[in-house]
Amino acid sequence: MKTIKGPAIFLAQFISDEPPFNSLESICQWASSLGFKGVQLPTLDKRFIDLQLAAESKTYADELKGKVQAAGLEITELSTHLQGQLVAVNPAYDQLFDGFAPEGLRGNPTARQEWAVQQLKYAAKASQNLGLTAHATFSGALLWPMVYPWPQRPAGIVETGFTELARRWLPILNTFDECGVDVCYEVHAGEDLHDGISYEMFLEKVQQHPRACLLYDPSHFVLQCLDYLEYLDIYHERIRACHMKDAEFNPTGRQGVYGGYQNWVDRAGRFRSLGDGQVDFKAIFSKLAQYDFPGWAVLEWECALKHPEDGAREGAAFIQNHIIRVTDKAFDDFAAAGTDDARNRQLLGL
């Protein structure tokens, strides 16, 4: 068994124009001061990483890694969540997702998608140059407007959607394979890969590609009323990254899973800081230890109520206290009688 690495923190929700959150060096010093040992690095802000340069220059990648290590941290994974979203966008969301792309590409879905695909390929090579083995992203979505079957979906449209999604991702997955890096899709509402069944449909379309892996985040499954512990039993061989994020689901006579168009504070299902929600993290960490999870326990702070800096400070200690240092011996070794084949055969009447 392996002891999970951590605690680490996803920096996306903390980056801002105010110190210490406005440069890689200072945000790493801040994270280190809270007890974190790793950072998951988003890739759209050049103050923190020039993704293309990290892909094309091993020297730059080494310098970047050195800046993080100077704070006593490691880079756990790179993240292209926003670029991954743009690999596949239903036209209904074109304007809403345009803000994820450079200004010059907005209003041009074809150019936006080409840019996103190239970003993912840069991320593969940058991850290789940084010595990383896993990468965090979204799948994008062509079918999400039809997630509920009303109006009745046209026959064959789901098949067509997943066929096209796979066609777009296969060249990306192959690039990651060449670089020795797993693509870890965060299974998430708003993505075509939003639960286990939809992931399996995608996996079939990409011919069980060995790099089409998973980022596990139990908070999204609480909001879907999906069994997030059995999910680990089913998919643990494909889980190569994780976000530790809490959530709660408190349905009422007025609203349930869909939330009644309410904002996050007023929804029946909402994200919470670690320890403030309903997720059974003791069971999760036990299963991750049982299944030899090879990666990092990464805090993703998203909370409708608590200040992010408090969530980060408390989250570091929460993860540290939940990581199981796995045993190197059986608890009943003290009672072992040793190995004696002749005696064993005698006890069995052989």
pLDDT digits (tens, 9 = 90+) for 290-331: 999 999 999 999 999 999 999 999 999 999 999 999 988 887
Contact 107, 155 (CB under 8 A): no
Side-chain half-sphere exposure of 90, counting CA atoms within 13 A: 16
Instruction: Compute the distance between CA of residue 57 and CA of residue 137 in angstroms, rounded to an integer.
Output: 22
106-162 pLDDT tens trace = 999 999 999 999 999 999 999 999 999 999 999 999 999 999 999 999 999 999 999
28-34: list long-range contacts, CB under 8 Å, 24+ apart: 28/67, 28/68, 28/70, 28/71, 28/73, 29/71, 31/71, 31/73, 31/312, 32/71, 32/72, 32/73, 34/9, 34/312, 34/313, 34/316
Give the span between the Cα atoms of 18 and 209, in whole angstroms: 42
Give the residue ranges of the chain where pLDDT is below 50: none
Contact 150, 75 (CB under 8 A): no
- What is the reported pLDDT for 154? 96
> Which three-class secondary structure state does DSSP give residue 123?
helix
Q: What pLDDT score was predicted for residue 247?
A: 98
**Whole-number Å distance between alpha carbons of 175 and 127:** 11
Domains of the chain in start order, with CATH, are 5-347 (3.20.20.150)
Residue 257: its pLDDT value, please?
Answer: 97
- 215 Cβ contact partners less than 8 Å away, ≥ 6 residues apart: 136, 137, 184, 185, 186, 187, 239, 240, 241, 242, 243
Alpha-carbon gap, residue 10 to 301, rounded angstroms: 8
Question: Alpha-carbon distance 165 to 159, whole Å?
Answer: 10
Given this model, what pLDDT does residue 185 score?
Answer: 99
What b/e readout covers 128-143, taking b as 16+ CB neighbours within 10 angstroms?
bbbebebbbbbbbbbb
